[in-house]
Structure 1
Amino acid sequence: MTMTLTRGRGVVLAAALSAALVLTGCGSDSGDKDSSTAAAATRTVKADNGTIQVPADPQRVVTIGNTGLPFVDMGGKPVGVTKVRDSELGRLPADQRATFEKATNLGDEVDLEKLADLKPDLILVQIPDAEFKEMEQKLGTVAPTVFWGLDTEWKALAEGLAEAGNVTSALSKQKTEFERYLTKINQQHADTIKSTKFVNVDRYASSDPGTFVIADIGCVEIAQSDVGLNFPKAAEGADPLAYAALPFEQIAGLSKYDAITYPVDAEGHPTATFAPVVETNTWKALPAVTSGHAVGVFCPGNNSYGAVNRYLNSLDHALASLPAKK
């Protein structure tokens, strides 16, 4: 049974499930406890697959699909994870990367028997709905499984993961920091936010040579919706602007914007994929570039509060570096 996970993360579930695995995979020893003790040790959470009874304090969590990095971001320590891109791991703080790499890597192919051998007491999943439907019953024989579809907004996913994985304290602190950043940015950069016409540009590892994109997905969505910066975005119902590759010949068209944001790494250097753009003479001649209004912003991720807070910190410094308007 093959299940391909979108967003670059493939997940395959082993097709066979032996009778022995069904019996041992549940990992339940509730028969040795009275019912009141068992009830006290569990609670219910709501997700896209309904109301699920989960351990009150899960100790052996497996994350599948897009749940791994957000769970680790909130201090979770999964025993098993599915593979993520090396570029994503490279943007993690050292402690989070160590936690992720310590977990058993289930890879792109999730062998259910290998997963069951981890004896998880909770499985967290975010993958396409159709793929989850194919594996839902089998995962449920191993441990309580909580699922969110890909259309779940990142803040709602963080709330759900925190509740199911019992990391709500960390989430609360991250949300407080998030609000603090928003307040600071809106207070200190109010004039810039109100009067500046921005554009966000990017390139991807999969981009054809000699092309770039006007990116309206990813961290820039936080800048648009939460901060209120004026970036171009696709018309309602249309594909994101980021889906359209533009030739380098169109870099000159960016001159109609007051300021440009572009991707940099944690050290502030243009990312390896975007570097070809800044090396062009057309880029160097842009009014925003020559006047200091082209600023790099670090985006470690946009699907958890910790990563978004790091982005907001970088955005705050970038806005502060913009020369004052004459």
Structure 2
Amino acid sequence: MSSTPLTRRGTALAATLMSASLFLTACGGDGDNTGDTTGDKAAAQTRSVKAENGTIEIPTDPQRIVTIGNTNLPFIDLGGKPVGVTEVPDSELDVLPEEQKTAYEAAEVVGSNGGEVDLEKLAGLKPDLILVQFHSNDWDKVGKRLEAIAPTVFWGLDTEWKAFAGEIAEAGNVTDALSRQTAEFKEKVAKIQETYRKTIDDTSFVDVSRGDWSDPGTFYIADIGCSEIARDDIGLDLPEAAEGKDPLAYESLPFEQIGELSKYDVITYPVDAEGRPTEPFVPVVETNTWKALPAVSSGRALGVFCPGNNSYGPVLQYLDSLDRALATLSTK
């Protein structure tokens, strides 16, 4: 599954695992004071990780971490407190827990969310580790210069979100939080599967959405992002692209095709934290074609809140929202 939210086509991610997984290798000295232990002490302070930019020696316990691109919020979600960050849209900051928003705002902004990083400002922060995820084109532009400032770990955009969270936790030395989040995720998934087993087995779903980048009068069927979690982890019967084909979400569909959604038992669509249709999706729900859909008229169109899908914190919020939405079906 993609580890970044669905935005424009160039940033939507395929559901593939990253081939080069991050791993931790133990290094340490014996701790005694006899002989020359300089080498042992140096080894105890670093460890090797593998990422898309090779094998990197990083501090065992990094203290001054800069996050760039899509690593900002996942690291903070794990309890990290970066000294430098790149820009995050207000829409994403607004749904953060207060302590996470505070951690982000306490950091120095060193550039935009792509490759436009102020390298001089970044270097002035004296980072001991830089965590990066953005498009490979941006890496080609600034990657070597980042590596010249501090050890830099780079992930491509095709990194599956669970692997991404785990690798950030290892690199940033915040694995305790990861363990708690992973356990909570498994517990919530199991609860939903047990509670709604009959619904999951007997119901066809479709997840539809619309972004602020969508052309006027269009929507799309979402088969990446949070809908992947519903399909692949929960087991909902949701449409997806054929193997080897572009995600269905890449195709803009005209409003005239809204009526085709009538073949599904249940429709899910995006809402904000208060349960209101997201602003880009409002034009869809205002159409007469939408209102005439059997799922809509029978109360089987479910608004689900997805604050993000590239780390456990927002995914857990999504699962809670999905749980509440599925609970309403028992009364229909």
Q: 2:282 aligns with which of 257, 275, 284?
A: 275
Give the whole-Å Cα distance in 1 for the aligned partners of 2:148 and 2:223: 41
- Whether 1:77 aligns to 2:81 is yes
Larger mean CA deviation between 289-298 and 133-142 belongs to 133-142
Deviations 1:29-77 (A, max 9, x none): xxxx944333222222222222222111111100111111110111111
Aligned to 2:204: 197
Aligned to 1:45: 49
8 Å CA contact 2:111, 2:118 repeated in 1: no
Cα displacement (A) at 1:207: 1.2
Within a 5 Å distance, the mapping from 1:82-101 to structure 2 comes to 82-101=86-105
- Whether 1:171 aligns to 2:169 is no
Q: 2:156 aligns with which of 149, 152, 176?
A: 149
Q: Among the aligned pairs, what percent are the same residue?
A: 65
Cα displacement (A) at 1:202: 0.6
Q: How many residues align?
A: 296
Within a 5 Å distance, the mapping from 1:1-326 to structure 2 comes to 7=11, 34-108=38-112, 109-324=116-331
Deviations 1:290-324 (A, max 9, x none): 11111110001111111111111111111111145
Deviations 1:233-283 (A, max 9, x none): 111122211122122222111111100000000111111111111122221
For the aligned residue pairs, the C-alpha RMSD in angstroms reads 1.7
8 Å CA contact 2:11, 2:157 repeated in 1: no
8 Å CA contact 1:292, 1:323 repeated in 2: no
- Unmatched tracts of structure 1, length 5 or more: 1-5, 9-32
Give the whole-Å Cα distance in 1 for the aligned partners of 2:137 and 2:282: 38
SS at match of 2:279: coil
8 Å CA contact 1:80, 1:104 repeated in 2: yes
SS at match of 2:307: coil
Give the residue type in structure 1 aligned to 2:208: V
Give the whole-Å Cα distance in 2 for the aligned partners of 1:189 and 1:202: 24
Give the whole-Å Cα distance in 2 for the aligned partners of 1:212 and 1:167: 39
Deviations 1:153-202 (A, max 9, x none): 11111111000100000000000000001100110000011010001111
Give the whole-Å Cα distance in 2 for the aligned partners of 1:275 and 1:93: 25
8 Å CA contact 1:293, 1:323 repeated in 2: no
Which structure exhibits the higher relative contact order, with contacts defined as CA atoms closer than 8 Å and separated by 6 or more residues?
Answer: 2
Give the residue type in structure 1 aligned to 2:202: S
Deviations 1:71-104 (A, max 9, x none): 0111111111111222222222222122112211
8 Å CA contact 1:255, 1:287 repeated in 2: yes
Larger mean CA deviation between 111-120 and 280-289 belongs to 280-289
What is the TM-score normalised by the length of structure 1? 0.87
Aligned to 2:6: none
8 Å CA contact 2:219, 2:252 repeated in 1: yes
8 Å CA contact 1:47, 1:160 repeated in 2: no
Cα displacement (A) at 1:127: 2.0
Give the whole-Å Cα distance in 1 for the aligned partners of 2:212 and 2:307: 16
8 Å CA contact 2:83, 2:108 repeated in 1: yes
SS at match of 1:123: strand
8 Å CA contact 2:48, 2:55 repeated in 1: yes
Give the residue type in structure 1 aligned to 2:219: F
Give the residue type in structure 2 aligned to 1:36: D
Larger mean CA deviation between 96-105 and 310-319 belongs to 96-105
- Unmatched tracts of structure 2, length 5 or more: 1-9, 13-36
8 Å CA contact 1:283, 1:289 repeated in 2: yes
Larger mean CA deviation between 106-115 and 198-207 belongs to 106-115
8 Å CA contact 1:185, 1:316 repeated in 2: yes
